[in-house]
């Protein structure tokens, strides 16, 4: 069974072993696959594994041997799942592997905004504390999270993990979710989108990207937020209208924006968020802890073994 990884560098830049996959079949790993390289890299593959390399209907049609497509991520919008289904090719993803890591990043961004640890550490490396006439100093607003209202959009695996951390900080948690109030953990209150944006001090976007959630944070919803409010996005870049967020930061309608994802990745050099005040952007690394990537590798191997036994799991195009 010939297995081809189209873009393996993101998952494994060299600190992990491909052994779990190598044990299953004849494995070829390409660090990246450009458009002009796709046909050559994918030729004769029985199994294709992709992270961000797009697999379209047209590309699938040129691969007569293809029997399985695995996505090395939870989101699977890079694959034409319907085209694969029509050809009897299951598409399998890796659900929930990064839940603890992404929830951790929500609070890494939030604490960066509220406590500015890196700012003060850098200042002190330059000798500022040593020169200070008093025992302490601060030149940024400092915020205590206890008692603050946190709104969470999407209460799936990551949203729920984020809610648990928020509750541990002593925060009041509100959620936009399809779950009934009776199914919510004690301390989590169900709310509408407008209620979240208008009453919460912090709003965290943890929902999937769908036609209904695209640009969920826009000029209208941002205008509802209280002055100084914080928006966190570790879900998908297009959940926000980036120009609207940049404008809200510049006009101080929004206090700060912390995001690990952007509409286009990598972003264009002229993306307004890159220079917007109080925008804290990380390069899509929430999923990339070693622990999360090890889980991803193991789940991918489990998916392959289940497929080869005739009982595929984590199928997104049944």
Residue extents of the structural domains in the chain: 2-95+290-308, 99-288
The pLDDT-based confidence of 235 (bands split at 50, 70, 90) is: very high
* Topology adopted by domain 2-95+290-308: Rossmann fold (3.40.50)
Residue 119 near residue 140 (C-beta atoms within 8 A): yes
Cβ neighbour number for residue 29 with a 10 Å cutoff: 17
Tell me the C-alpha distance between 59 and 84, whole Å: 10
Residue 119's pLDDT is: 97
Q: Give the percent of the chain with pLDDT over 90.
A: 98
Average of per-residue pLDDT across 112-133? 98
Q: What is the mean pLDDT of the chain?
A: 97
Tell me the per-residue pLDDT of 259-288, one tens digit each, with 9 for 90 and over. Answer: 999 999 999 999 999 999 999 999 999 999
Which residues fall within 8 angstroms of residue 67, CB to CB, at 6 or more apart? 46, 47, 89
Tokens for 106, please give them: 């929500």
Among candidate residues 41, 157, 236, 293, the one labeled active-site is 236
Among candidate residues 183, 265, 290, 291, the one labeled active-site is 265
Residue 176's pLDDT is: 97
Among candidate residues 85, 214, 219, 284, the one labeled active-site is 284
Q: Helices (DSSP H) in 10-52: which residue ranges?
A: 19-22, 38-42
Virtual torsion, Cα 111, 115, 121, 127, nearest 10 deg: 170
Average of per-residue pLDDT across 302-307? 98
Assess whether pLDDT exceeds 90 at residue 300. yes
pTM, to two decimals: 0.94
Tell me the C-alpha distance between 316 and 318, whole Å: 6
Residue 133's pLDDT is: 97
Residue 182's pLDDT is: 86
Average of per-residue pLDDT across 209-228? 96
The pLDDT-based confidence of 11 (bands split at 50, 70, 90) is: very high
Tell me the per-residue pLDDT of 30-87, one tens digit each, with 9 for 90 and over. Answer: 999 999 999 999 999 999 999 999 999 999 999 999 999 999 999 999 999 999 999 9
- 58 an active-site residue? no
Residue 100's pLDDT is: 98
The dotted CATH code for 99-288 is 3.40.50.720
Tell me the C-alpha distance between 301 and 295, whole Å: 10
Tokens for 86, please give them: 């029509």
Burial of residue 230 (number of CB atoms within 10 Å: 0-12, 13-18, 19+):
buried
Residue 213 near residue 237 (C-beta atoms within 8 A): no
Average of per-residue pLDDT across 185-209? 96
- 265 an active-site residue? yes
């Amino acid at each position: 069974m010939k297995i081809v990884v189209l873009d393996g560098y993101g998952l494994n830049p060299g600190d992990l072993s491909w052994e779990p996959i190598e044990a299953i079949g004849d494995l070829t790993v390409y660090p990246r696959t450009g458009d002009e390289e796709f046909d050559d890299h994918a030729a004769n593959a029985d199994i294709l594994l992709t992270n961000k390399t797009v697999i379209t209907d047209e590309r699938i049609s040129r691969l007569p041997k293809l029997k399985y497509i695995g996505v090395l991520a939870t989101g699977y919008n890079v694959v034409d799942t319907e085209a694969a289904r029509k050809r009897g090719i299951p598409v399998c993803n890796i659900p929930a592997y990064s839940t603890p890591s992404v929830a951790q990043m929500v609070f890494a961004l939030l604490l960066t905004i509220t406590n500015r640890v890196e700012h003060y550490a850098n200042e002190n490396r330059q000798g500022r504390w040593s020169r200070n006439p008093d025992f302490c100093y601060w030149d940024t607003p400092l915020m205590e999270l206890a008692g603050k209202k946190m709104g969470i959009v999407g209460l799936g695996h990551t949203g729920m993990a984020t809610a648990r951390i928020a509750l541990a900080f002593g925060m009041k948690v509100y959620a936009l979710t399809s779950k009934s109030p009776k199914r919510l953990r004690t301390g989590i209150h169900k709310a509408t989108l407008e209620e979240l944006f208008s009453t919460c001090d912090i709003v965290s976007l943890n929902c999937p990207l769908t036609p209904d959630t695209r640009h969920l944070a826009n000029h209208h919803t941002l205008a509802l937020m209280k002055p100084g409010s914080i928006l966190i996005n570790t879900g998908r870049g297009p959940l926000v209208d980036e120009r609207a967020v940049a404008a809200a930061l510049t006009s101080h309608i929004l206090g700060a924006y912390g995001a690990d994802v952007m509409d286009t990745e990598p972003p264009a050099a002229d993306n307004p968020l890159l220079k917007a005040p109080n925008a804290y952007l990380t390069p899509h690394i929430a999923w990339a802890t070693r622990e999360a990537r090890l889980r991803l590798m193991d789940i991918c191997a489990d998916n392959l073994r289940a497929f080869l036994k005739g009982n595929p799991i984590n199928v997104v195009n049944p």
